[in-house]
Amino acid sequence: ATPTALLVGTGRGAQMGLLIKGPEVLESTRRVDTIVMDKTGTVTSGIMSVSDVTVPEGRDRADVLAKAAAVEAASEHPIAQAIAREGARAGELPEVTDFANTAGRGVTGTVDGAVVTVGRPAGDLPAALATAFTGSQEQGGTPVVVQIDGEAAGVITVRDTVKPTSAEAVAGLKELGLTPWLLTGDNAGAARAVAAEVGIDPENVIAEVMPDDKVAQIERLQDQGENVAMVGDGVNDAAALARAELGLAMGAGTDVAIEASDITLMNDDLRSAVDAIRLSRRTLGTIK
Protein backbone atom coordinates (compact mmCIF):
# COMPACT_ATOMS: atom_id res chain seq x y z
CA ALA A 1 0.00 0.00 0.00
CA THR A 2 1.15 3.55 -0.67
CA PRO A 3 1.88 5.93 2.22
CA THR A 4 -1.24 7.85 1.24
CA ALA A 5 -3.41 4.73 1.47
CA LEU A 6 -1.96 4.03 4.93
CA LEU A 7 -2.70 7.56 6.09
CA VAL A 8 -6.23 7.29 4.76
CA GLY A 9 -6.54 4.00 6.66
CA THR A 10 -5.47 5.53 9.98
CA GLY A 11 -7.76 8.52 9.35
CA ARG A 12 -10.66 6.20 8.67
CA GLY A 13 -9.74 4.40 11.91
CA ALA A 14 -10.03 7.65 13.86
CA GLN A 15 -13.56 8.11 12.52
CA MET A 16 -14.37 4.60 13.79
CA GLY A 17 -13.04 5.35 17.28
CA LEU A 18 -9.68 3.60 16.72
CA LEU A 19 -6.69 5.64 17.80
CA ILE A 20 -3.91 4.12 15.70
CA LYS A 21 -0.34 5.10 16.76
CA GLY A 22 1.08 5.19 13.25
CA PRO A 23 0.53 3.90 9.70
CA GLU A 24 2.97 1.01 10.25
CA VAL A 25 0.59 -0.43 12.86
CA LEU A 26 -1.78 -1.46 10.06
CA GLU A 27 0.75 -3.99 8.78
CA SER A 28 0.96 -5.84 12.14
CA THR A 29 -2.81 -5.63 12.47
CA ARG A 30 -3.18 -7.38 9.15
CA ARG A 31 -0.79 -10.18 10.10
CA VAL A 32 -2.19 -11.34 13.47
CA ASP A 33 -3.86 -14.76 13.68
CA THR A 34 -4.31 -15.14 17.45
CA ILE A 35 -5.99 -12.68 19.78
CA VAL A 36 -5.48 -12.84 23.54
CA MET A 37 -8.06 -10.99 25.61
CA ASP A 38 -7.77 -9.90 29.21
CA LYS A 39 -10.97 -10.81 31.06
CA THR A 40 -11.73 -8.14 33.65
CA GLY A 41 -12.53 -4.77 32.11
CA THR A 42 -11.92 -5.98 28.56
CA VAL A 43 -14.38 -8.82 27.89
CA THR A 44 -16.34 -8.01 31.05
CA SER A 45 -17.55 -4.63 32.28
CA GLY A 46 -15.10 -4.72 35.19
CA ILE A 47 -17.84 -3.39 37.42
CA MET A 48 -18.20 -6.14 39.99
CA SER A 49 -20.73 -6.58 42.74
CA VAL A 50 -20.78 -8.65 45.93
CA SER A 51 -23.11 -11.65 45.63
CA ASP A 52 -22.30 -13.54 48.82
CA VAL A 53 -20.55 -13.22 52.19
CA THR A 54 -19.87 -16.39 54.19
CA VAL A 55 -18.40 -16.33 57.70
CA PRO A 56 -17.51 -19.24 59.99
CA GLU A 57 -19.40 -19.81 63.26
CA GLY A 58 -18.50 -17.26 65.88
CA ARG A 59 -17.80 -14.45 63.39
CA ASP A 60 -20.09 -11.49 62.87
CA ARG A 61 -20.84 -11.14 59.16
CA ALA A 62 -21.36 -7.35 59.32
CA ASP A 63 -18.08 -6.88 61.19
CA VAL A 64 -16.08 -9.00 58.71
CA LEU A 65 -17.61 -7.16 55.76
CA ALA A 66 -17.01 -3.74 57.34
CA LYS A 67 -13.34 -4.51 58.06
CA ALA A 68 -12.76 -5.95 54.59
CA ALA A 69 -14.55 -3.02 52.96
CA ALA A 70 -12.53 -0.50 54.94
CA VAL A 71 -9.25 -1.96 53.67
CA GLU A 72 -10.49 -2.37 50.10
CA ALA A 73 -11.68 1.24 50.02
CA ALA A 74 -8.06 2.26 49.50
CA SER A 75 -7.65 0.06 46.40
CA GLU A 76 -8.78 0.76 42.83
CA HIS A 77 -9.15 -2.90 41.90
CA PRO A 78 -12.66 -3.81 40.63
CA ILE A 79 -12.94 -6.47 43.37
CA ALA A 80 -11.96 -3.87 45.95
CA GLN A 81 -14.51 -1.35 44.72
CA ALA A 82 -17.30 -3.93 44.85
CA ILE A 83 -16.47 -4.87 48.45
CA ALA A 84 -15.99 -1.26 49.54
CA ARG A 85 -19.37 -0.29 48.05
CA GLU A 86 -21.15 -3.22 49.69
CA GLY A 87 -19.61 -2.41 53.09
CA ALA A 88 -20.43 1.29 52.79
CA ARG A 89 -24.10 0.49 52.26
CA ALA A 90 -24.29 -0.67 55.88
CA GLY A 91 -22.76 2.52 57.28
CA GLU A 92 -19.53 4.46 57.71
CA LEU A 93 -16.39 2.35 57.34
CA PRO A 94 -13.80 2.11 60.13
CA GLU A 95 -10.38 3.80 59.82
CA VAL A 96 -7.47 1.94 58.25
CA THR A 97 -3.75 2.31 58.89
CA ASP A 98 -0.74 0.52 57.36
CA PHE A 99 -2.52 -0.12 54.05
CA ALA A 100 -0.57 -2.13 51.48
CA ASN A 101 -1.51 -3.62 48.13
CA THR A 102 0.12 -6.59 46.38
CA ALA A 103 -0.74 -6.75 42.67
CA GLY A 104 -2.46 -10.02 41.73
CA ARG A 105 -2.85 -11.02 45.39
CA GLY A 106 -4.82 -8.56 47.48
CA VAL A 107 -4.67 -5.91 50.16
CA THR A 108 -3.84 -5.59 53.83
CA GLY A 109 -4.37 -2.97 56.54
CA THR A 110 -4.93 -2.49 60.25
CA VAL A 111 -8.52 -1.91 61.39
CA ASP A 112 -9.49 -1.47 65.09
CA GLY A 113 -6.13 -2.91 66.09
CA ALA A 114 -6.55 -6.05 63.94
CA VAL A 115 -4.53 -6.92 60.85
CA VAL A 116 -7.01 -7.52 58.02
CA THR A 117 -6.09 -9.00 54.65
CA VAL A 118 -8.39 -9.57 51.68
CA GLY A 119 -7.32 -11.57 48.65
CA ARG A 120 -6.24 -14.99 47.49
CA PRO A 121 -6.26 -17.66 50.18
CA ALA A 122 -2.90 -17.99 51.96
CA GLY A 123 -3.06 -21.63 53.04
CA ASP A 124 -5.87 -24.04 53.89
CA LEU A 125 -9.33 -22.81 54.77
CA PRO A 126 -11.57 -24.25 57.51
CA ALA A 127 -14.13 -26.67 56.01
CA ALA A 128 -17.13 -24.29 55.95
CA LEU A 129 -15.15 -21.60 54.14
CA ALA A 130 -13.43 -24.07 51.79
CA THR A 131 -16.86 -25.28 50.65
CA ALA A 132 -18.08 -21.73 50.07
CA PHE A 133 -14.87 -20.87 48.20
CA THR A 134 -14.85 -23.79 45.75
CA GLY A 135 -18.66 -23.67 45.32
CA SER A 136 -18.44 -20.04 44.33
CA GLN A 137 -15.67 -20.70 41.79
CA GLU A 138 -17.64 -23.58 40.26
CA GLN A 139 -20.56 -21.20 39.79
CA GLY A 140 -18.39 -18.68 37.95
CA GLY A 141 -17.90 -16.30 40.88
CA THR A 142 -14.70 -14.74 42.15
CA PRO A 143 -14.29 -15.54 45.86
CA VAL A 144 -11.71 -13.78 48.01
CA VAL A 145 -10.71 -14.60 51.57
CA VAL A 146 -10.80 -12.20 54.52
CA GLN A 147 -8.21 -12.89 57.21
CA ILE A 148 -8.28 -11.19 60.58
CA ASP A 149 -5.10 -11.48 62.66
CA GLY A 150 -4.02 -14.46 60.57
CA GLU A 151 -7.30 -16.35 60.92
CA ALA A 152 -9.64 -17.02 57.99
CA ALA A 153 -12.70 -14.92 58.87
CA GLY A 154 -14.81 -15.01 55.73
CA VAL A 155 -15.24 -15.60 52.03
CA ILE A 156 -16.66 -12.77 49.93
CA THR A 157 -17.79 -13.56 46.40
CA VAL A 158 -17.89 -10.89 43.72
CA ARG A 159 -19.28 -11.21 40.23
CA ASP A 160 -18.67 -9.40 37.01
CA THR A 161 -20.89 -9.14 33.93
CA VAL A 162 -19.84 -9.76 30.35
CA LYS A 163 -20.18 -6.64 28.16
CA PRO A 164 -23.24 -7.01 25.92
CA THR A 165 -21.15 -6.74 22.72
CA SER A 166 -18.32 -9.14 23.63
CA ALA A 167 -19.90 -12.32 22.20
CA GLU A 168 -20.57 -10.62 18.86
CA ALA A 169 -16.97 -9.37 18.83
CA VAL A 170 -15.56 -12.85 19.44
CA ALA A 171 -17.71 -14.23 16.62
CA GLY A 172 -16.41 -11.47 14.32
CA LEU A 173 -12.79 -12.21 15.24
CA LYS A 174 -13.30 -15.89 14.45
CA GLU A 175 -14.85 -14.94 11.10
CA LEU A 176 -11.65 -13.06 10.31
CA GLY A 177 -9.74 -16.28 11.01
CA LEU A 178 -8.35 -15.34 14.43
CA THR A 179 -8.18 -17.78 17.33
CA PRO A 180 -9.46 -16.09 20.52
CA TRP A 181 -7.85 -16.71 23.94
CA LEU A 182 -8.83 -15.50 27.41
CA LEU A 183 -6.09 -14.49 29.86
CA THR A 184 -6.77 -13.60 33.48
CA GLY A 185 -5.50 -13.50 37.02
CA ASP A 186 -8.92 -14.69 38.14
CA ASN A 187 -9.77 -18.32 38.96
CA ALA A 188 -10.43 -20.95 36.29
CA GLY A 189 -14.14 -21.32 37.13
CA ALA A 190 -14.90 -17.62 36.66
CA ALA A 191 -12.71 -17.53 33.54
CA ARG A 192 -14.42 -20.55 31.96
CA ALA A 193 -17.88 -19.14 32.65
CA VAL A 194 -16.96 -15.94 30.79
CA ALA A 195 -15.31 -17.92 27.96
CA ALA A 196 -18.43 -20.04 27.50
CA GLU A 197 -20.63 -16.95 27.42
CA VAL A 198 -18.65 -15.28 24.63
CA GLY A 199 -17.65 -18.35 22.60
CA ILE A 200 -14.01 -18.92 23.55
CA ASP A 201 -12.88 -22.57 23.56
CA PRO A 202 -12.23 -23.81 27.15
CA GLU A 203 -8.82 -25.03 25.98
CA ASN A 204 -7.92 -21.44 25.15
CA VAL A 205 -8.46 -20.14 28.68
CA ILE A 206 -5.40 -19.21 30.73
CA ALA A 207 -6.42 -18.46 34.33
CA GLU A 208 -4.70 -17.64 37.62
CA VAL A 209 -1.88 -15.84 35.83
CA MET A 210 0.12 -13.52 38.08
CA PRO A 211 0.46 -9.97 36.68
CA ASP A 212 4.14 -10.43 35.79
CA ASP A 213 3.44 -13.69 33.94
CA LYS A 214 1.00 -12.30 31.39
CA VAL A 215 3.88 -11.35 29.10
CA ALA A 216 5.35 -14.89 29.39
CA GLN A 217 2.02 -16.29 28.19
CA ILE A 218 2.17 -14.05 25.11
CA GLU A 219 5.74 -15.21 24.46
CA ARG A 220 4.71 -18.85 24.80
CA LEU A 221 2.14 -18.41 22.01
CA GLN A 222 4.68 -16.53 19.89
CA ASP A 223 7.16 -19.39 20.38
CA GLN A 224 4.52 -21.69 18.91
CA GLY A 225 4.62 -19.54 15.78
CA GLU A 226 1.50 -17.46 16.38
CA ASN A 227 1.24 -13.78 15.47
CA VAL A 228 -0.36 -12.48 18.62
CA ALA A 229 -2.65 -9.53 19.25
CA MET A 230 -3.40 -8.67 22.87
CA VAL A 231 -6.37 -6.63 24.13
CA GLY A 232 -6.25 -5.27 27.68
CA ASP A 233 -7.02 -2.40 29.97
CA GLY A 234 -5.02 -2.74 33.16
CA VAL A 235 -1.60 -1.87 34.56
CA ASN A 236 -1.18 -5.66 34.64
CA ASP A 237 -1.58 -5.84 30.88
CA ALA A 238 0.98 -3.20 29.84
CA ALA A 239 3.99 -5.50 29.37
CA ALA A 240 1.90 -8.05 27.45
CA LEU A 241 0.46 -5.28 25.24
CA ALA A 242 3.96 -4.08 24.44
CA ARG A 243 5.26 -7.60 23.76
CA ALA A 244 2.41 -8.66 21.47
CA GLU A 245 2.76 -8.09 17.73
CA LEU A 246 -0.28 -5.86 18.12
CA GLY A 247 -1.41 -4.27 21.37
CA LEU A 248 -4.97 -2.96 21.68
CA ALA A 249 -5.98 -0.98 24.77
CA MET A 250 -9.43 -0.09 26.00
CA GLY A 251 -9.99 3.68 25.99
CA ALA A 252 -11.19 3.65 29.60
CA GLY A 253 -8.12 1.61 30.55
CA THR A 254 -5.15 2.81 32.56
CA ASP A 255 -2.67 5.25 31.01
CA VAL A 256 0.18 2.72 31.08
CA ALA A 257 -1.90 0.22 29.09
CA ILE A 258 -2.76 2.90 26.53
CA GLU A 259 0.90 3.97 26.25
CA ALA A 260 2.06 0.37 25.74
CA SER A 261 -0.48 -0.31 23.00
CA ASP A 262 -0.53 0.29 19.23
CA ILE A 263 -4.25 1.01 18.99
CA THR A 264 -6.67 2.46 21.55
CA LEU A 265 -10.31 1.38 21.30
CA MET A 266 -11.96 4.67 22.26
CA ASN A 267 -15.43 3.24 22.88
CA ASP A 268 -14.33 0.30 25.11
CA ASP A 269 -16.21 -2.03 22.82
CA LEU A 270 -14.44 -5.24 21.84
CA ARG A 271 -16.15 -5.05 18.43
CA SER A 272 -13.70 -2.23 17.66
CA ALA A 273 -10.93 -4.85 17.61
CA VAL A 274 -12.81 -6.53 14.75
CA ASP A 275 -13.15 -3.16 13.00
CA ALA A 276 -9.41 -2.53 13.39
CA ILE A 277 -8.40 -5.82 11.81
CA ARG A 278 -10.94 -5.55 9.01
CA LEU A 279 -9.83 -1.96 8.29
CA SER A 280 -6.16 -2.95 8.09
CA ARG A 281 -6.85 -5.81 5.73
CA ARG A 282 -8.94 -3.54 3.50
CA THR A 283 -6.38 -0.76 3.56
CA LEU A 284 -3.60 -3.16 2.65
CA GLY A 285 -5.74 -4.71 -0.05
CA THR A 286 -6.01 -8.20 1.38
CA ILE A 287 -9.78 -8.18 1.46
CA LYS A 288 -12.37 -5.90 -0.11
Q: Does 104 bind ligand ADP (CB under 6 A)?
A: yes
Q: Please say which residue, 30 or 192, places its beta carbon nearer to Mg ion.
A: 192
Q: What angle do CA 226, 229, 230 make, to 5 degrees?
A: 125
Binding letters toward ligand ADP, positions 215-254, x by CB under 6 A? -------------------x-x------------------
CB 41 within 8 A of CB 265: no
**According to CB under 5 A, which one of 195, 234, 264, 283 is a site residue for Mg ion?**
234
CB of 39 to Mg ion, least distance (A): 7
By beta-carbon distance, which residue lies closest to ligand ADP? 185
20 CB burial (10 A radius; 0-12, 13-18, 19+): buried
Q: Does 38 bind Mg ion (CB under 5 A)?
A: yes
CB of 193 to Mg ion, least distance (A): 16
**According to CB under 6 A, which one of 23, 87, 109, 119 is a site residue for ligand ADP?**
119
- Residue 38 annotated in active site: yes
Q: Does 166 bind ligand ADP (CB under 6 A)?
A: no
Q: How many residues sit close enough to ligand ADP to count as binding (CB under 6 A)?
A: 22
- The distance from CA 98 to its chain's CA centroid, rounded to whole angstroms, is 27
Q: Does 142 bind ligand ADP (CB under 6 A)?
A: yes
Q: Does 41 bind Mg ion (CB under 5 A)?
A: yes
Question: Active-site residues: which are they?
Answer: 38
Residues that bind ligand ADP (CB under 6 A): 39-40, 72, 75, 77, 79-80, 104-107, 118-120, 142, 144, 184-186, 211, 234, 236
